[in-house]
Amino acid sequence: MQQPRDKAGIAKGVADAISAPMSQPQSPDRFNEGKATYTVTGSQPDIDAGVEAIRTTLKTLPTRPGVYRMQDARGDVLYVGKARALKNRVANYTQVERLPNRLRRMVAQTRSMTIVTTNSEAEALLLEAQLLQRYRPPYNVLLRDDKSFPFILLREDHEFPRVQKHRGARKYKGRYYGPFASAGSVTRTINALQKLFLLRSCTDSFFANRSRPCLLYQIKRCAAPCVDRIDEAGYAELVKDAQDFLGGKSTAVQKKLGMAMEAAAEALDFEQAAVIRDRLKALTFIQGSQAINAEGLGDADIFALAEKGGAMCIQAFFIRGGQNWGHRSFFPVHTADVATEEVLESFMAQFYEEVPAPKLILTDREPAECELMALALSERIGSKVRIEVPQRGDRTRLIKQAQRNAVEALDRRLAETTSQGKILDEMVETFGLEGVPDRIEIYDNSHIQGAHALGAMVVAGPEGFRKNAYRKFNMKNPEISNDDFAMMREMFERRFGRAQKEDPDRDSGEWPDLVLIDGGKGQLSAARTMLEEMGIEDVTMIGVAKGPHHGREGREVFHLMDGREINFPLNHPVLFYMQRLRDEAHRFAIGAHRAKRSKAITVSSLDEVPGIGPARKKALLMHFGTARAVRDAALDDLQRAPGVSKAVAQQVYDYFHG
């Protein structure tokens, strides 16, 4: 295996690899998030065509490390793989009789390949993980997780650093601690930091405009640096203690607080001693509430895999600074006929694409190509990463606990899936559907008397909600923003017009098998008319209305396209399921509407005036008080505003008065 390049690191190598020329010109690649798994069995002519496409690519393949992509006739990515020697690895796909059924189906659909060479196999591993996240190919093991991991950010761009929750790109200067298993874990830790170290959590603008302490100071959750209740040096000491605590030095922090409490008591400052005592209680509570004892472990991740009934679960524990920062269950998809070691390897590669790897990873089994994985992760973070399978000692106890959690989580998942399957089967029978829908789309809209109107679409499948497929529709025609029927028509025109254009053959898995509309006969009729005008007559739709008693749950009426109306008895499982789908669409629509309304509040009519930048806008608002007063001002009044020339005043006046 080739060794990675110098200290420039693998990150640059991956970027170079992505921009490297392809071995063959290919059709444009598309992003296929959430694409359904192909189920074509593949006849002999199909397999022969696939093998021939692979052999054509083989003629120009080098024996260097790299990444290959299998693509179908449309150019959609079917599979992404890495190789130490591309020519040798790809040649294996021409020996069809040795392939499992899953890969035979893939070969039968393959019509082209894209090849990217890399400088080492470790670079190929990292590039493969990036491409899996981007294309979501149906024949790879995929880590299905819609949310990024939350971190705690201790910002350093202010003289009084702020502690806050953070997701996404690291665009702020400061120290990031994580990952945490959930937003709840972050919230609990931030609350503990506030109790222990009295750090501020408010925004900089809120901080700058305080004239007296806020409630957090009154309940002893903040030191109130905003009103000089603590100086910069004292606050910096609190920040240092918080960094020590998050870095695993909680014992030292506890000792320091104990000494400070004794000193305050000896000085007869019993009020201060009581404050420190409460902080010590909070620290002791946190130390005693850890689900597992990871003392002495430092920074580590623990993974254990459970397999049952063709499904797999990977349980992850996150240990940072010897503290348990939570655990999460993952259920990778497309794992049929794949060895557990390969599933674990693919999972880890994709997982650490989003999260920095710790220096120690404990697993219940070695992932495939364990040494390569450790090498790639080491190059990515710039220090050595060890992957170990504990055989004795306290670490085996941690692995056993992770294994037990993995088995229990998988059992719960299988039980939920079985129950869900029964509900879906009953729904199919009740509504007369052709089969269990793989993709259900639910539509709703939200506005306040026509203001800030938008529509929303959420997507669900047998496995649950697919939040990466949710969509918002800002109403482009202001004249329809108070007309629910017209809003529904515009949503459907845009959604299905795009689907017709991008996927006319409907083989990407992104056409709905069932559409639910939050509304009665009117909304259903509007949506149906719109689709018929577009030549789409085979999409099954159901309208969900609240019935005659709008305030009572369980009285929903379901309107079918053939004119039938269906009511379910109270506590019926299908009714609960349909309500949950409808409520999720309503929640998403309301949330998007509120965000749009909040954003609009901060927008001023002065923003639209040509030539008015932030400085002149501020000068006008400071002089007149409101944007409305600026709009109504006479030309002479505008000219008297400080920092506003006659030309600018004329420009503002002309804009508002035609």
3-class SS of residue 230: coil
pLDDT score of 191: 81
Kindly state the helix (H) or strand (E) to which residue 407 belongs, with its residue range: helix 394-431
Q: 496, 536 in Cβ contact below 8 A?
A: yes
Contact 351, 318 (CB under 8 A): no
Q: Residue 4 above 50 pLDDT? A: no
The vertex-513 CA angle with 508 and 516, nearest 5°, equals 130
User: Which structure tokens are listed for 607?
Assistant: 């923003």
Looking at per-residue pLDDT, the higher value among 564 and 592 belongs to 564
Cross-strand partners of 388: 362
Binning pLDDT at 50, 70 and 90, where does residue 605 land? low
Q: What is the mean pLDDT of residues 195-214?
A: 86
Q: Which residue has the tokens 């806050």?
A: 164
Q: Residue 248's pLDDT band (boundaries 50, 70, 90)?
A: low
- What is the Cα–Cα distance from 495 to 503, expressed in whole angstroms? 12
If one compares 112 and 610, the residue with the highest pLDDT of the two is: 112
20-29, 574-583, 596-605: which has the minimum mean pLDDT?
Answer: 20-29
Which pLDDT score, from 0 to 100, does residue 475 have? 76
What is the reported pLDDT for 292? 54
Mean pLDDT for the chain overall: 81
Percent of the chain surpassing pLDDT 90: 23
The DSSP code for 92 is: G
Q: What is the pLDDT of residues 407-421, one digit of tens each?
A: 999 988 888 777 888
The predicted pLDDT at position 196 comes to 78
Query: Could you tell me which residue, 65 or 602, shows the higher pLDDT?
Result: 65
Q: CA dihedral defined by 254, 260, 262, 268, rounded to 10 degrees?
A: -150
pLDDT at 25: 33
For the chain, percent of residues with pLDDT exceeding 70: 84
In the chain, residues under CATH classification 1.10.150.20 are 605-657
Confidence (pLDDT) at 365: 94
Q: Is the pLDDT of residue 467 over 80?
A: yes
Secondary structure letter of residue 394 according to DSSP: H
Mutual orientation of helices 232-246 and 183-197 as an angle, nearest 10°?
140
* CATH class for the domain made up of 605-657: mainly alpha
State pLDDT tens for residues 132-144.
988 889 899 888 6
Tell me the fold of 440-600. Answer: Nucleotidyltransferase; domain 5 (3.30.420)
86 pLDDT higher than 70:
yes
Residue with more model confidence, 440 or 619: 440
pLDDT at 171 over 80: yes
Residue with the bigger pLDDT between 448 and 429: it is 429
Q: State the DSSP string of 608-646.
A: GSTT--HHHHHHHHHHHSSHHHHHH--HHHHHTSTT--H
Question: pLDDT per residue over 38-82, tens digit each?
Answer: 333 345 668 889 999 999 999 989 889 999 999 998 888 999 999
pLDDT of residue 21: 39
| pLDDT band, residue 10 (cuts 50/70/90) | very low
* pLDDT for 39: 33
Tens of pLDDT, residue by residue over 372-400, are 999 999 988 889 999 999 988 888 988 99
pLDDT recorded at residue 77: 92
pLDDT at 35 over 50: no
pLDDT, mean of residues 285-303:
67
At residue 538, the pLDDT reads: 85
- More confident call, 624 vs 63: 63
Range(s) within the chain of domains with CATH label 3.30.420.340: 440-600
Return the minimum-mean-pLDDT range out of 173-182, 209-218, 245-254, 386-395.
Answer: 245-254
Higher pLDDT among residues 12 and 503, named by residue: 503
Query: Which pLDDT score is estimated for 293?
Result: 56
Preceding peptide of 179 cis, ω within 30°: yes
Residue 125: closest CA among 364, 441, 353: 353
Q: In what order do the strands lie in the sheet with 300-308?
A: 323-330, 311-320, 300-308, 360-363, 386-388
Q: What is the pLDDT of residue 192?
A: 77
* pLDDT score at 116: 92
- Homologous superfamily in CATH for domain 9-135: GIY-YIG endonuclease (3.40.1440.10)
d(CA 620, CA 643): 8
Q: Looking at residues 305-317, what average pLDDT do you find?
A: 90
On whether the CB atoms of residues 627 and 605 are closer than 8 A, the answer is: yes
DSSP per-residue codes, 444-474:
EEEEETTEEEEEEEEEEETTEE-GGG-EEEE
CA dihedral 19, 21, 27, 32 (to 10 degrees): -30
CATH numeric code, 300-411: 3.30.420
Q: Look at the alpha carbons of 331, 334, 335, 336 in this order and tell me if their dihedral is positive or negative.
A: positive
DSSP state of 32: -
Using an 8 Å Cβ cutoff, are 512 and 536 in contact? Answer: no
**Across 85-94, 134-143, 409-418, 459-468, which has the greatest mean pLDDT?**
85-94
12: pLDDT strictly greater than 70? no
pLDDT grade for 479, boundaries at 50, 70 and 90: low
Q: Where in the chain is the domain with CATH 3.40.1440.10?
A: 9-135
638 and 652 Cβ atoms separated by less than 8 Å? yes
